Chains A and B, each alone.
Chain A
Amino acid sequence: MALIELQGITKLYRSGDTEFAALRDVDLSIGRGEFVALTGASGSGKSTLMNVLGCLDAPSRGSYRLADRDIARLSRVELAAIRNQFIGFVFQSFNLLARTSAAENVELPLIYARCAPAERRRRALEALDRVGLSSRAGHHPSQLSGGQQQRVAIARALVTRPPVILADEPTGNLDSQTSIEIMRLLAELRDSGITIVFVTHEADIAAFAARKLVLRDGIIVNDIRQQPEAAHPAHALSGGTHDPGH
């Protein structure tokens, strides 16, 4: 059984009299442990798809099953619980709370999981250790580099041990060296069994994925299985797009 199962997902935006479909009848199935890149031009609907997957935005039509739960029928309260328990979200702009230490940022999902303070702190430090930032637990986001901030955000996504991590342009605000480090970290997480879906418009970043989905005008136009290119940074830097027909 697939972890993520989309059928006929349509997302309409209305502005005045005109209706605009950001997603049109998208069918998609993602299995456990997959490493998926969502690519496409700006406005192709990849971020909208990401937000629907992350239960941040509700589709206008269609069905969405996540870990055998029918997401489309859930209330706001139930969706909050799904985001908390089943999904770790990583954003392009990190979205850490300012003036709040790295450890406290990582603890945040556990607060809403009603986890006891001591347990929370223990698991937050564990997650920070996993992203290689245990020495920065007390630092505030403003005292951390972009790459370190994104690691904190990844630790926050990990801390509730969700089956899936969704990353919306996780390397969009980072330089290429740091981007590769972040993608390697995600690849490691995938190796530990977490399903990872990320959005990118950079071919060399998409190359880290084992499966590449190309969106255009709200439709998945290409679904490519490819050999992930995570092993060597030199390759990743020079590596081009894998041709669909390859």
Chain B
Amino acid sequence: MIPATETLRLALRALRRNKLRSFLTALGIIIGVAAVICMVSIGEGAKQRIRTQIESTGTNVVLLFSGSSSSGGMRGGMGSQPTITWDDLRAVQTELPAVRAAAPLSRTGTQAISESQTWTTTVYGTTPEYFTIRNWSIARGSGLTASDQAGAAKNAVIGQTVAENLFGAGTDPIGQVLRVRNAPYIVVGLLESKGQGGMGEDQDDAIFVPISTFQARIQGGLSQYVRGPVYVSAVSSEAIDAARAQIASLLRERHRLAPDEEDDFSTRSMAEMTGTLTSATQTLTTLLASIALVSLIVGGIGVMNIMLVSVTERTREIGIRMAVGAQPSDIMAQFLIEALTLAAIGGAIGVLLGLGAGELLSARFGWSMVARTDIIVMALLVSAGVGIVFGIYPARKAARLNPIDALRYE
């Protein structure tokens, strides 16, 4: 074989001769690779963000819901039919060695009103333990206390978004009054910003009041059962499974369930939630990347098309080369390397463009982007592969020409 550098030089020269054509052909590859890189990087970023956000919720958190769940999927009734009593909650809190703390979280969407503003937000009723479980600290003022709880005090702890919208940015909300459902609450604490939650919701758009106050003034109705999920933290992340098992056996006993009866409650660990969400994101990323891959293949067909044109155009040149002694393999290598070079250059530009577009989109929409080296290397290899696969046929066509026919070609 002729040294590859020689053939490469020849290929670059041929590509330079038709600059616009080479560029347009490479453009197909460029767009394909850029799309793949962009999609995968953004998807990877989303996955990583979900993971960190859920981890910020607390990795050793277990959610306890009323209602049953069957393994592998949720029943529609989960959480809607309350089965967990306050005594159950207390028992979970005090009797189980693997459980550090438990807190109920009831919620309702409503309007909150300050002197000057109205803001639609979510009001939560909970206990002081909730903030420990969520690892959520107070930025200013104080948290909810046990005595607030006992006295059903009309004290509230608010998130940053609520503070900004009700009292204005930069105003100290501590000691201010807000009204929810015609009852005034004194703001005693402002929470640290927590940012977006695992579902993309704004966790700072929240007002927390004691659960006793919530039951009496906001929720209304019977208050025998805990409404909404119970946040439970295990003593460590290794103790999650133990905590779930202990909760299950405790509640089955307390609810007097026969061995053949299903649980009338369910538990989910944050790790499971992470898994579900990341796999959903993964599916979306894979889907988008496959669509992008299709455009890469279309780009490859473009390469093949132009190589076929090039072989036809240069039939006479091929004839001359054969007449002076070029082997069929030399001709094959010449056209194959030309296609490969075209695709590889397109791939390299595509990687840069994809990363650039990813950065731009991330900056514009506040997404995060994670460029994975393995994906970049793979995209480059795939585009080179596209060059080879779609270059082989035209190159073989060139190599198989009969010298005399090629020379006579007009």
Q: Which residues of A contact B (CB under 8 A)?
A: 51, 54, 56-57, 76-77, 80-81, 83-85, 89, 91, 95-97, 99, 108-109, 111-114, 117, 156, 160
Contacts and interface: CB of A to CB of B under 8 A. Distances in A.
Contact of B328 (A77, A99, A109, A160): A77
19 contacts: A51-B404, A54-B323, A56-B322, A56-B403, A77-B329, A80-B327, A81-B325, A83-B323, A83-B325, A97-B317, A97-B320, A108-B320, A108-B321, A112-B2, A112-B321, A112-B324, A112-B330, A117-B6, A160-B325
Nearest to B329: A77
B2 to A, nearest CB: 6
A233 B316 CA distance: 35
Contacts of A84: 324-325
Interface residues of B, number: 21
Given A76-B328, A97-B317, A160-B325, 13 more contacts: A56-B403, A57-B402, A57-B403, A57-B404, A77-B328, A80-B322, A80-B327, A83-B323, A83-B325, A95-B407, A96-B320, A97-B320, A111-B2
A126 B296 CA distance: 49
Given A95-B320, A112-B2, A56 B407 contact: yes
B316 A95 contact: yes
B326 interface: yes
A143 B166 CA distance: 83
A144 to B, nearest CB: 16
B326 A95 contact: no
Interface in B314-353: 316-317, 319-330
A37 B6 CA distance: 38
A85 B404 contact: no
B17 interface: yes
Interface in B272-324: 316-317, 319-324
A50 to B, nearest CB: 10
A80 B404 contact: no
Given A51-B404, A91-B407, A99-B17, A80 B320 contact: no
Find the residue from A80, A91, A113 having the highest chain B CB count within 10 A: A80
Contacts of B403: 56-57, 83
Nearest to A57: B404
Given A51-B404, A56-B403, A80 B326 contact: yes
A112 B404 contact: no
Contacts of B320: 95-97, 108
Interface in B1-39: 2, 6, 17
A235 to B, nearest CB: 33
Interface string B375-410: 000000000000000000000000000111001000
B328 A80 contact: yes
A109 B320 CA distance: 10
Contact of B325 (A95, A99, A109): A109
Given A56-B404, A99-B17, A85 B325 contact: yes
Find the residue from B320, B322, B324, B403 having the highest chain A CB count within 10 A: B324
Given A91-B407, A111-B6, A77 B323 contact: no
Interface in B62-103: none
B5 to A, nearest CB: 10
Nearest to B400: A76
Contacts of A54: 323
Which 8 A-B pairs give the minimum distances between C-beta atoms?
A84-B325, A109-B324, A112-B325, A56-B404, A57-B404, A80-B327, A56-B403, A83-B325
Contacts of B324: 83-84, 89, 108-109, 112, 156
Contacts of B6: 111, 117
A245 B135 CA distance: 117
Contacts of B2: 111-112, 114
Interface string B356-391: 000000000000000000000000000000000000
B323 A112 contact: no
A96 B320 CA distance: 8
B252 to A, nearest CB: 81
Find the residue from A95, A99, A160 having the highest chain B CB count within 10 A: A95
A152 to B, nearest CB: 12
A56 B329 CA distance: 17
A95 B6 CA distance: 22
B327 A77 contact: yes
A19 B325 CA distance: 31
A156 B323 CA distance: 11
A83 B403 CA distance: 11
A29 to B, nearest CB: 24
Contacts of B330: 112
A112 B316 contact: no
Contacts of B317: 97
A96 B321 CA distance: 10
Contacts of B402: 57
A170 to B, nearest CB: 14
Nearest to A77: B327
A77 B321 CA distance: 13
Contacts of A114: 2
A56 B326 contact: no
A211 to B, nearest CB: 25
